[in-house]
C-alpha cells in the first residue's frame, strides 16, 4: 500500500477487541465492546494492562468497525495502553460516533485531548504520586473536558488521596465534572477509601473495578 493510501486508510495497532461489562465510570455494569489499542508512553507502577504495551495487530478502521459491529452492542469503550498515543485513534473515535455508538475514551491525561470528537465521553486520569507518572499530567486538558466527561484518581496511599483532594479543591473539579476515586488493589482497601471519601466535604464517587470483582485480572475482561 502506498503512503497516500495509508494516510487515507489509517491503521491502528490493536491488542484486543472484546465484549464484557463496563467495570468503571458512570457506565459501570453496561455490556460494552472494548477496543484496546496497543502502546503507552507511561509506565505507572500499578498498571494492570502492561500486556498492551507491545505487540498487537495492525488493523484498518473498517476492520475494527466490522469486529465491533459483530458484537451487536451499543456502548463502545476505546482504551489501552494509551489510545491517544496513536494519532489515528481520533479517526476511529469519529467513525464510531458516526455509526451511532455511545463511545467512551479512557485516557491517561498525558496527551492532548483537544482533537477528540465532542460526541465522545472522556474518562481522564489524573495520575497520583504513587503511580510514578504524576509529572506527566497535562493539566491543560482540564480546559477541554465537557461537563459530561469524568476525571479519575487511582489512589495507592493516604498521600495519594490527600494529593487528589488538593487537586479537586484547587481546580474545583467536583463542581465541573464527576470525579471518580479508585483504590490500588492490595495497597488501599475498600474500607480505607470509603472512610477517606466520607471524611471530605467533596462530591467524590468511590468506585471499585466491577470486572476484577467478577473475573480477577484475567485479560479480555
Domain presence at residue 23: yes
State yes or no: pLDDT of 221 exceeds 80.
no
CATH assignment at residue 201: 3.20.20.70
- The model's pTM is 0.90
- For residue 5, the model assigns a pLDDT of 41
Domain assignment present for residue 159? The answer is yes
Q: Would residue 48 count as lying in a domain?
A: yes
Name the residue among 114, 117, 106, 82 with its Cα closest to residue 24: 106
User: Is there a domain that residue 221 lies in?
Assistant: no
Planar angle of CA 203, 77, 219, nearest 5 degrees:
100
How far is 195 from 87, CA to CA, in rounded Å? 41
- Per residue in 39-50, pLDDT tens? 999 999 998 889
Residue 83 lies in a domain: yes
Question: Domain count of the chain?
Answer: 1
**Any domain includes 220:** no
105: CB partners within 8 A, 6+ apart: 77, 78, 79, 83, 84, 93, 116, 120, 121, 122, 123
Amino acid 28: pLDDT:
86
Q: Is residue 211 part of a domain?
A: yes
Supply the pLDDT for residue 3: 41
For residue 103, being part of any structural domain is answered with: yes
User: What's the domain range around 45?
Assistant: 3-215
Q: Using one digit for the tens of pLDDT, what is the confidence trace for 45-87?
A: 998 889 999 999 999 999 999 999 999 999 999 999 999 999 9
Residue where the block lists cell 497535562: 138
Give pLDDT, residue 23.
Answer: 80
Amino acid at each position: 500500500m502506498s503512503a497516500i493510501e495509508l494516510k487515507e486508510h489509517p491503521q491502528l495497532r490493536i491488542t484486543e477487541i472484546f465484549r464484557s461489562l463496563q467495570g468503571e465510570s458512570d457506565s459501570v455494569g453496561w455490556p460494552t465492546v472494548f477496543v484496546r489499542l496497543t502502546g503507552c508512553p507511561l509506565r505507572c507502577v500499578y498498571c494492570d494492562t502492561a500486556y498492551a504495551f507491545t505487540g498487537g495487530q495492525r488493523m484498518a478502521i473498517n476492520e475494527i468497525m466490522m469486529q465491533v459491529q459483530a458484537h451487536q452492542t451499543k456502548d463502545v469503550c476505546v482504551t489501552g495502553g494509551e489510545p491517544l498515543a496513536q494519532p489515528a485513534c481520533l479517526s476511529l473515535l469519529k467513525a464510531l460516533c458516526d455509526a451511532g455508538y455511545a463511545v467512551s475514551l479512557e485516557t491517561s491525561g498525558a496527551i492532548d485531548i483537544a482533537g477528540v470528537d465532542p460526541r465522545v465521553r472522556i474518562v481522564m486520569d489524573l495520575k497520583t504520586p504513587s503511580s510514578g507518572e504524576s509529572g506527566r499530567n497535562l493539566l491543560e486538558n482540564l480546559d477541554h473536558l465537557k461537563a459530561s466527561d469524568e476525571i479519575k484518581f487511582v489512589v495507592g496511599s493516604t498521600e495519594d488521596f490527600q494529593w487528589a483532594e488538593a487537586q479537586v479543591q484547587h481546580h474545583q473539579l467536583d463542581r465541573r465534572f464527576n470525579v471518580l476515586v479508585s483504590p490500588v488493589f492490595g495497597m488501599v482497601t475498600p474500607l480505607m477509601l470509603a472512610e477517606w471519601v466520607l471524611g471530605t466535604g467533596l462530591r467524590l464517587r468511590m468506585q471499585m473495578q466491577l470486572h476484577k470483582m467478577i473475573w480477577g485480572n484475567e485479560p479480555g475482561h
